[in-house]
Amino acid sequence: MNTRKASWMIGLAVTLVVAFALMAWTQRGLAAPPGDKASGGTEVKIDNFTFGPATVKVSAGTTVTWTNRDDVPHTVVSDDKTTFKSKALDTDEQFSFTFSKPGKYSYFCSVHPKMTGEVIVQ
Ligand SMILES: [Cu+2]
């Protein structure tokens, strides 16, 4: 392989690497941030006896989905026990509620009342 051909090959390789790096960077930049998905939903994870994030801010009409990632059952119950109330959620089970009216909704887990969280609807 002569020098001229070798440098052409290196140039091509560098161009490809830069192109792939740019593509990867652009795709990461376009990805929606967590918790603000294009579907309009918001997710709350139940893990290690904690609602995470403990406070979520959403706009009216947003559906919030809780997913139990613990290996013990949890519930999602509004403080007034009537606005929303899930059944006992086993591991990986979900509960969803659509918040149509603005306000501050505090909730807890009826199995472990020290587990609390709130949804602020704007
Ligand atoms: Cu619980």
What distance in Å separates the CA atoms of residue 28 and residue 30, rounded to the nearest whole number? 5
Between the CA of 76 and the centroid of ligand 1 the distance, in Å, is 8
Query: Considering the chain, what is the average pLDDT of its residues?
Result: 85
Name the residues around ion ligand 1, CB cutoff 5 A. Answer: 74, 109, 111-112, 115
Q: What is the pTM of this model?
A: 0.69
Please give the sequence-ordered ranges of beta strands (E in DSSP) within 27-114, or none if there are none: 42-47, 50-52, 55-58, 62-68, 77-78, 94-99, 103-108
Tell me the CB-side half-sphere exposure of residue 113, using CA atoms within 13 A: 2
- List pLDDT tens digits, range 28-42: 544 444 444 445 699
54: CA distance to ligand 1 center in Å?
13
Whether 66 shows a pLDDT value over 90: the answer reads yes
Task: Determine the distance separating the centroid of ligand 1 and the alpha carbon of 75, expressed in angstroms.
Answer: 6
State mean pLDDT over 95-113: 98
